[in-house]
Chain A
Amino acid sequence: MALDDDAEIAALPQFDAICDTVNGETIGKLLLHLKTGGALGSTLGEPVGAKQRGVKVTAIRTRPDPARLSQLAIAAADGRLVVPVQRAFPLEQGADAFRLARQDGVAKVLLMPQLPSTDR
């Protein structure tokens, strides 16, 4: 399906907040759709030009939080939160696992020490 990206972005409303996990050119365009005084959270550092737009920017550095993790694990157990797994590899095939994991669009890749090694 052919889409005009810029036209779609231009049609967006003004948001109160953006949670960004992609950064790059995309966030630069989306910043125009964040209200003045709005909030921008990012997992990839502070986007260029964000603060100049009068928005509150938070660059996330993940920290341990077992209580929160426990809540999220319960949501996953109940099926309310789904984090798909693409494939599990034995620990000794770590290089293969890394090659797969870093491909675009691949879900989580696991390393399992007790998984028997497989022929490639």
Chain B
Amino acid sequence: MKALIATAYGDVQNLEFAEAAEPNAAAGDVKIQVHAASINPLDWKLLSGYGRGTSMELHFPAILGRDASGEVLEVGANVKSLRAGDRVLGFALGTFAERVVAVASAWAKVPPKLDLAAAAALPMVALTGAQLADSVEAKPGMSVLVTGAVGGVGRVAVFVAKTAGATVWAGVRAEQRRQRAHWVLTTSWPSMTMPR
């Protein structure tokens, strides 16, 4: 199969579209035909060498990508929750490829009304944002400030905290304020900085 392969730590010149080994599904795994995968900050951070010397060390050639949507091609012998043809989204490893394998528990079914491209944008930011809001135990009566509230993770944290009943204050940058006038509060702060 074809994949986007990182050949060494560095910048995007070290990404090659090339042939990669076909992944195989073990008994508890699900293999999908990738429809779309989204790029997350972790992907370019890992490419730049952020994970060196940690459990996130890349072993080259490496396939980046942490989330995807697609159609189930095959399931392992022990998998009862999904079957071939199901539309799924999930949080997996090596998703910048035509096909990817992950344990069955990595995947959720895509609702009929959601297209697969929109679904691919969700797994990493949706789970991160939800787990972020959960980490502060958002509940009725609480005031919660979410920073970076128009980013993917921030949007989901706002949604989950509001759904939990908290009063949510959405913090965004100055130039984003006009477009978000309906929000309870906006404030101004400098750009997020990240290793590049």
Contacts and interface: CB of A to CB of B under 8 A. Distances in A.
Answer yes or no: do A and B interact. Answer: yes
Interface of A: 1, 3, 5, 8-9, 12-13, 15-27, 30, 33, 39-43, 58, 60, 62-70, 72-78, 80-85, 88, 91-95, 97-99, 101-102, 104-105, 107-114
Given A21-B157, A60-B135, A65-B127, A73 B3 contact: no
A65 B156 CA distance: 15
Given A21-B154, A69-B122, A81-B159, A113 B106 contact: no
B159 A80 contact: yes
Q: Which DSSP category, helix, strand, loop or mixed, fits chain B's interface?
A: mixed
Contacts of B145: 12, 15, 17-19, 30, 33
B144 to A, nearest CB: 5
A23 B131 CA distance: 17
B53 to A, nearest CB: 16
B96 A111 contact: yes
Nearest to A107: B152
18 contacts: A9-B189, A18-B147, A21-B157, A41-B135, A41-B136, A58-B136, A63-B127, A66-B90, A69-B91, A72-B126, A72-B130, A81-B156, A83-B122, A85-B117, A85-B121, A91-B17, A108-B38, A108-B39
